[in-house]
Amino acid sequence: MKRRSRTDAIFKWLTIIFATAVVFLAVLFFYELGTGSSLTLRSGFSFITGSKWDPVGNVFGVLPMLYGSLVTSAIALVIGVPISLGVAIFLSELAPHRVRSPFSFVVEMLAAVPSVVYGLWGLFVLAPVLRDDVYPVLRTYLGFLPIFQSSSTQLPGVSIMTAGIILAIMIIPIVSSISRDALLAVPDSQREAAYALGATKSEAIRISVLSYARSGIFASIFLGLGRAFGETIAVTMVIGNTPLITGSLFSPGYTLASLIANEFTEATTPVYISALVEAGLVLLTVVFLTNIAARVLISRLVKNREAASYL
């Protein structure tokens, strides 16, 4: 009897130890990135507020990269969220049952495409189309807005806008599938109540379904934001990697993640490495907080297994 309980205890502790690996990892990220950036962390907020990035002169300000990360993520949300919500609504409210599963599968396949392939496609297929056919039209008709103005006559294919569009495509699978799960969790009585009041289908969706699923939809947007903010290689390939803050979306830019990917292997001095690690720390903190917000919303929303189990 004693032996039996001992094997049980050993197995239990084994699983506890390995589970602790997950907790340990989360702590390790912050600890190592914190100590790894100690050389530049001391200089305080000038790292975030400074707009000059000059490794040779030991001046490290990541404002242009932070700007690039924020603006590309914002573009991704502005374009990606409405499309994702449309997809979610179609999959949960409109599509006949038979086609739901194949359609969800196709949309989720977008998540399976490796990000370097997005970069390759973005650089050689999407960017030329945007440059030749889309951006000139945007500039002609929306050029009264500063964000669609540009001093150069020939607009570049690689730009903040192109990076934002690639990110919009990349966040569609996660935003649409979490939103779809949130919509599916809305009880039918909500829909029926709206129909009983004479609402059309779209009115029922807007009035009762979307508002009921509000927090799940917000969670999906936070997850999309986290993904867009942290995406590295696809963005690096299409953004132009130039630390600029011009206000125009057609100008090349830089993001925190692409800064790290581009310059880490070239960094030779300890201060330079420390600055890049600190850029990673900023990135980690932002994405960690966004993901926590999303997960809190999801766990509060429903004890719905499907919604919480999505990768």
Partner 1 sequence: MMSRRFLADKIWLSLAFVAVVIAVIPLASILYEVTRLGISSMNIDFFTKLPPTLLPGSVGGMGNAVEGSLMLVALASLIGLPIGLLSGVFISEYGNNWYGSTVRFLGDVLVGNPSIVIGILGYILLVIPFHGFSLVAGGVALGVMTIPIVSNTTAEALKLVPNSLREASHALGIRKWRTSILILANAKSAVATGALLAIARVMGETAPLILTAGISTLWYSGPFQPVASLTYYIYYFSTSFPSHSAEFDLAWGAAFILIVIVMGINLGVRIITRGTTGHA
Q: Which of residues 124-153 bind partner 1 (CB under 8 A)?
A: 124-126
Residues 71-130 that bind partner 1 (CB under 8 A): 82-87, 89-91, 93-94, 100-101, 103-107, 109-110, 112-121, 123-126
Residue 25 carries which side chain, given as an amino acid letter? Answer: L
- Per-residue binding letters, 237-266, with partner 1 (x by CB under 8 A): x-------------------x--xx--xx-
Residues 46-65 that bind partner 1 (CB under 8 A): none
HSE on the CB side for 187, CA within 13 Å?
Answer: 4
> Quick one: 153 or 265, whose CB is closer to partner 1?
265
Distances (CA, A) of 155 to 86, 128, 205, 235: 31, 10, 41, 18
Q: Which DSSP state fits 60? A: E
Q: In 58-99, which ranges are E strands? A: 59-60
Interface stretch with partner 1, choices 53-61, 145-153, 210-218, 287-295 (CB under 8 A): 287-295
> Quick one: 100 or 139, whose CB is closer to partner 1?
100
d(CA 29, CA 280): 10
Cβ contact 222:81 at 8 Å = no
Of 100, 101, 84, 290, the C-alpha closest to 172 is 84
> Quick one: 33 or 217, whose CB is closer to partner 1?
33
> Quick one: 223 or 248, whose CB is closer to partner 1?
223
Among positions 38, 58, 269, 299, the unique one binding partner 1 when judged by CB under 8 A = 299
Shortest distance, position 146 Cβ to partner 1, whole Å: 27
Residues 150-179 that bind partner 1 (CB under 8 A): 169, 172, 176
Cβ contact 217:182 at 8 Å = yes
> Quick one: 58 or 101, whose CB is closer to partner 1?
101
Among positions 231, 240, 251, 275, the unique one binding partner 1 when judged by CB under 8 A = 231
Cβ contact 233:81 at 8 Å = no
> Quick one: 116 or 142, whose CB is closer to partner 1?
116
Site residue total, partner 1 (CB under 8 A): 98
Shortest distance, position 151 Cβ to partner 1, whole Å: 26
Shortest distance, position 149 Cβ to partner 1, whole Å: 26
Of 279, 176, 171, the C-alpha closest to 225 is 171
Cβ contact 55:39 at 8 Å = no
Beta bridge partners of 54: 59
- 281 φψ region: left (φ > 0), alpha (ψ -120 to 50), beta (else): alpha
> Quick one: 147 or 170, whose CB is closer to partner 1?
170
Q: Which DSSP state fits 95? A: S
Shortest distance, position 212 Cβ to partner 1, whole Å: 17
Structure tokens at 297: 């919303």
Residue 291 contacts partner 1 per CB under 8 A: yes
Beta bridge partners of 59: 54
Shortest distance, position 54 Cβ to partner 1, whole Å: 21
> Quick one: 153 or 309, whose CB is closer to partner 1?
309
Interface stretch with partner 1, choices 13-21, 137-145, 147-155, 208-216 (CB under 8 A): 13-21
> Quick one: 175 or 248, whose CB is closer to partner 1?
175
d(CA 267, CA 289): 28
